[in-house]
Structure 1
Protein backbone atom coordinates (compact mmCIF):
# COMPACT_ATOMS: atom_id res chain seq x y z
CA UNK A 1 0.00 0.00 0.00
CA UNK A 2 1.39 3.38 -0.97
CA UNK A 3 1.47 6.28 1.46
CA UNK A 4 -1.44 8.68 1.33
CA UNK A 5 -0.61 12.10 -0.17
CA UNK A 6 -0.68 15.29 1.87
CA UNK A 7 -4.01 16.54 0.43
CA UNK A 8 -5.71 13.31 1.56
CA UNK A 9 -4.24 13.45 5.06
CA UNK A 10 -5.16 17.13 5.34
CA UNK A 11 -8.75 16.46 4.27
CA UNK A 12 -9.12 13.74 6.91
CA UNK A 13 -7.43 15.82 9.61
CA UNK A 14 -9.82 18.72 8.92
CA UNK A 15 -12.84 16.44 9.06
CA UNK A 16 -11.71 14.62 12.20
CA UNK A 17 -11.05 17.92 13.94
CA UNK A 18 -14.58 19.03 13.16
CA UNK A 19 -15.94 15.80 14.65
CA UNK A 20 -13.72 16.18 17.73
CA UNK A 21 -15.27 19.59 18.45
CA UNK A 22 -18.68 17.90 18.68
CA UNK A 23 -17.51 15.71 21.62
CA UNK A 24 -19.51 12.75 20.35
CA UNK A 25 -19.87 9.72 22.65
CA UNK A 26 -17.32 7.04 21.81
CA UNK A 27 -14.86 9.58 20.42
CA UNK A 28 -11.13 9.20 20.94
CA UNK A 29 -9.48 10.67 23.99
CA UNK A 30 -6.81 13.34 23.61
CA UNK A 31 -4.09 10.77 24.14
CA UNK A 32 -5.27 8.71 21.11
CA UNK A 33 -6.19 11.45 18.63
CA UNK A 34 -2.98 11.07 16.60
CA UNK A 35 -3.36 7.30 16.42
CA UNK A 36 -7.02 7.71 15.44
CA UNK A 37 -6.00 10.01 12.61
CA UNK A 38 -3.33 7.54 11.42
CA UNK A 39 -5.79 4.65 11.42
CA UNK A 40 -8.42 6.62 9.49
CA UNK A 41 -5.83 7.65 6.91
CA UNK A 42 -4.58 4.08 6.45
CA UNK A 43 -8.04 2.51 6.34
CA UNK A 44 -9.52 5.02 3.91
CA UNK A 45 -6.47 5.28 1.65
CA UNK A 46 -6.58 1.49 1.32
CA UNK A 47 -10.26 1.53 0.29
CA UNK A 48 -10.84 0.36 -3.30
CA UNK A 49 -11.16 3.93 -4.56
CA UNK A 50 -8.88 5.67 -7.01
CA UNK A 51 -8.60 8.81 -4.87
CA UNK A 52 -8.08 11.96 -6.94
CA UNK A 53 -7.55 15.35 -5.33
CA UNK A 54 -9.49 17.25 -8.02
CA UNK A 55 -12.75 15.42 -7.29
CA UNK A 56 -12.31 13.68 -3.96
CA UNK A 57 -11.15 16.46 -1.66
CA UNK A 58 -14.55 18.10 -1.97
CA UNK A 59 -16.33 14.75 -1.63
CA UNK A 60 -14.45 14.00 1.61
CA UNK A 61 -15.32 17.45 2.99
CA UNK A 62 -18.99 16.94 2.15
CA UNK A 63 -19.00 13.45 3.69
CA UNK A 64 -17.60 14.82 6.96
CA UNK A 65 -20.23 17.57 6.97
CA UNK A 66 -22.91 14.96 6.51
CA UNK A 67 -21.46 12.87 9.35
CA UNK A 68 -21.34 15.91 11.62
CA UNK A 69 -25.02 16.58 10.90
CA UNK A 70 -26.18 13.00 11.47
CA UNK A 71 -23.86 11.33 13.95
CA UNK A 72 -24.90 10.86 17.54
CA UNK A 73 -21.83 8.69 18.26
CA UNK A 74 -18.25 8.73 17.02
CA UNK A 75 -18.34 7.32 13.46
CA UNK A 76 -16.16 4.67 11.87
CA UNK A 77 -14.22 5.14 8.62
CA UNK A 78 -16.90 3.01 6.94
CA UNK A 79 -19.50 5.63 7.88
CA UNK A 80 -17.47 8.24 6.00
CA UNK A 81 -17.34 6.02 2.91
CA UNK A 82 -21.10 5.58 3.09
CA UNK A 83 -21.55 9.37 3.16
CA UNK A 84 -19.25 10.08 0.19
CA UNK A 85 -21.26 11.76 -2.55
CA UNK A 86 -21.04 10.28 -6.01
CA UNK A 87 -18.31 11.63 -8.23
CA UNK A 88 -19.45 14.20 -10.74
CA UNK A 89 -20.09 12.52 -14.06
CA UNK A 90 -18.26 13.82 -17.11
CA UNK A 91 -20.42 15.64 -19.60
CA UNK A 92 -21.84 13.36 -22.24
CA UNK A 93 -20.45 13.66 -25.71
CA UNK A 94 -22.81 15.21 -28.24
CA UNK A 95 -24.51 12.87 -30.65
CA UNK A 96 -22.51 12.40 -33.81
CA UNK A 97 -23.87 14.28 -36.79
CA UNK A 98 -26.07 12.20 -39.06
CA UNK A 99 -26.37 12.75 -42.78
CA UNK A 100 -29.75 12.90 -44.50
CA UNK A 101 -29.00 9.57 -46.16
CA UNK A 102 -28.26 7.91 -42.78
CA UNK A 103 -31.40 9.40 -41.28
CA UNK A 104 -33.54 8.14 -44.18
CA UNK A 105 -31.96 4.65 -44.01
CA UNK A 106 -32.75 4.55 -40.26
CA UNK A 107 -36.35 5.62 -40.89
CA UNK A 108 -36.71 2.90 -43.51
CA UNK A 109 -35.31 0.28 -41.12
CA UNK A 110 -37.77 1.41 -38.44
CA UNK A 111 -40.68 1.16 -40.90
CA UNK A 112 -39.55 -2.36 -41.83
CA UNK A 113 -39.23 -3.41 -38.18
CA UNK A 114 -42.65 -1.93 -37.38
CA UNK A 115 -44.20 -3.79 -40.32
CA UNK A 116 -42.55 -7.01 -39.20
CA UNK A 117 -43.93 -6.57 -35.67
CA UNK A 118 -47.42 -5.86 -37.04
CA UNK A 119 -47.23 -8.94 -39.23
CA UNK A 120 -46.10 -11.12 -36.30
CA UNK A 121 -48.85 -9.68 -34.11
CA UNK A 122 -51.47 -10.57 -36.72
CA UNK A 123 -50.49 -14.25 -36.80
Structure 2
Protein backbone atom coordinates (compact mmCIF):
# COMPACT_ATOMS: atom_id res chain seq x y z
CA UNK A 1 0.00 0.00 0.00
CA UNK A 2 1.62 3.20 -1.14
CA UNK A 3 -0.66 5.61 0.69
CA UNK A 4 -0.62 4.70 4.36
CA UNK A 5 -2.80 7.73 5.13
CA UNK A 6 -5.81 5.89 3.69
CA UNK A 7 -5.42 3.02 6.16
CA UNK A 8 -8.00 3.30 8.94
CA UNK A 9 -5.71 1.81 11.60
CA UNK A 10 -3.09 4.48 10.83
CA UNK A 11 -5.77 7.20 11.06
CA UNK A 12 -6.98 5.87 14.44
CA UNK A 13 -3.39 5.65 15.71
CA UNK A 14 -2.81 9.27 14.67
CA UNK A 15 -5.94 10.36 16.53
CA UNK A 16 -4.79 8.48 19.64
CA UNK A 17 -1.37 10.14 19.38
CA UNK A 18 -2.99 13.57 19.19
CA UNK A 19 -5.11 12.82 22.27
CA UNK A 20 -2.07 11.63 24.23
CA UNK A 21 -0.14 14.80 23.37
CA UNK A 22 -3.10 16.95 24.41
CA UNK A 23 -3.70 15.11 27.69
CA UNK A 24 -0.06 14.97 28.74
CA UNK A 25 0.16 18.78 28.50
CA UNK A 26 -1.66 18.76 31.83
CA UNK A 27 0.88 16.49 33.55
CA UNK A 28 3.22 18.02 36.15
CA UNK A 29 6.22 19.81 34.68
CA UNK A 30 8.63 17.50 36.53
CA UNK A 31 7.27 14.65 34.37
CA UNK A 32 8.30 16.24 31.08
CA UNK A 33 11.34 13.92 30.84
CA UNK A 34 9.61 11.03 32.60
CA UNK A 35 6.13 9.68 32.06
CA UNK A 36 5.10 12.47 29.67
CA UNK A 37 8.02 11.67 27.38
CA UNK A 38 7.44 7.91 27.63
CA UNK A 39 3.75 8.20 26.75
CA UNK A 40 4.47 10.46 23.81
CA UNK A 41 7.29 8.31 22.46
CA UNK A 42 5.32 5.08 22.69
CA UNK A 43 2.22 6.56 21.07
CA UNK A 44 4.09 8.27 18.24
CA UNK A 45 5.82 4.96 17.49
CA UNK A 46 2.51 3.30 16.60
CA UNK A 47 1.51 5.24 13.45
CA UNK A 48 5.17 5.76 12.57
CA UNK A 49 5.85 2.02 12.44
CA UNK A 50 2.65 1.35 10.52
CA UNK A 51 3.74 3.91 7.92
CA UNK A 52 7.32 2.62 7.79
CA UNK A 53 6.18 -0.97 7.39
CA UNK A 54 3.88 -0.04 4.53
CA UNK A 55 6.80 1.69 2.85
CA UNK A 56 8.87 -1.49 2.80
CA UNK A 57 9.19 -3.89 -0.11
CA UNK A 58 7.95 -7.10 1.48
CA UNK A 59 5.20 -8.48 3.65
CA UNK A 60 7.84 -9.82 6.04
CA UNK A 61 9.11 -6.31 6.63
CA UNK A 62 5.55 -5.01 7.03
CA UNK A 63 4.87 -7.73 9.59
CA UNK A 64 8.04 -6.81 11.49
CA UNK A 65 7.05 -3.13 11.72
CA UNK A 66 3.45 -3.92 12.63
CA UNK A 67 4.76 -6.10 15.46
CA UNK A 68 6.86 -3.17 16.67
CA UNK A 69 3.71 -1.00 16.56
CA UNK A 70 1.87 -3.59 18.69
CA UNK A 71 4.73 -3.57 21.21
CA UNK A 72 4.60 0.21 21.40
CA UNK A 73 0.84 0.04 21.89
CA UNK A 74 1.26 -2.35 24.84
CA UNK A 75 3.88 0.02 26.28
CA UNK A 76 1.37 2.86 25.95
CA UNK A 77 -1.35 0.87 27.70
CA UNK A 78 1.00 0.15 30.60
CA UNK A 79 2.00 3.79 30.88
CA UNK A 80 -1.66 4.85 30.85
CA UNK A 81 -2.26 2.53 33.81
CA UNK A 82 0.65 4.14 35.65
CA UNK A 83 -0.67 7.64 34.90
CA UNK A 84 -4.07 6.65 36.27
CA UNK A 85 -2.57 4.99 39.36
CA UNK A 86 -0.67 8.14 40.30
CA UNK A 87 -3.69 10.35 39.55
CA UNK A 88 -2.30 12.10 36.48
CA UNK A 89 -5.33 10.81 34.57
CA UNK A 90 -8.86 10.65 35.88
CA UNK A 91 -10.69 7.34 35.69
CA UNK A 92 -12.86 8.72 32.89
CA UNK A 93 -9.91 10.05 30.86
CA UNK A 94 -8.03 6.79 31.37
CA UNK A 95 -11.04 4.74 30.25
CA UNK A 96 -11.46 6.84 27.09
CA UNK A 97 -7.78 6.65 26.14
CA UNK A 98 -7.53 2.98 27.03
CA UNK A 99 -10.58 2.10 24.92
CA UNK A 100 -9.12 4.08 22.01
CA UNK A 101 -5.90 2.11 22.39
CA UNK A 102 -7.85 -1.18 22.50
CA UNK A 103 -9.57 -0.24 19.24
CA UNK A 104 -6.19 0.37 17.60
CA UNK A 105 -4.95 -2.91 19.10
CA UNK A 106 -7.84 -4.90 17.61
CA UNK A 107 -7.31 -3.27 14.23
CA UNK A 108 -3.57 -3.87 14.26
CA UNK A 109 -3.97 -7.53 15.23
CA UNK A 110 -6.57 -8.05 12.48
CA UNK A 111 -4.29 -6.34 9.95
CA UNK A 112 -1.36 -8.50 11.03
CA UNK A 113 -3.45 -11.67 10.64
CA UNK A 114 -4.53 -10.58 7.17
CA UNK A 115 -0.97 -9.90 6.07
CA UNK A 116 0.30 -13.18 7.57
CA UNK A 117 -2.51 -15.04 5.80
CA UNK A 118 -1.45 -13.63 2.44
CA UNK A 119 2.16 -14.82 2.83
TM-score (norm 2): 0.29
Max Rg structure:
1
Hey, which of these two has a bigger chunk of helix by percent? 2
TM-score (norm 1): 0.29
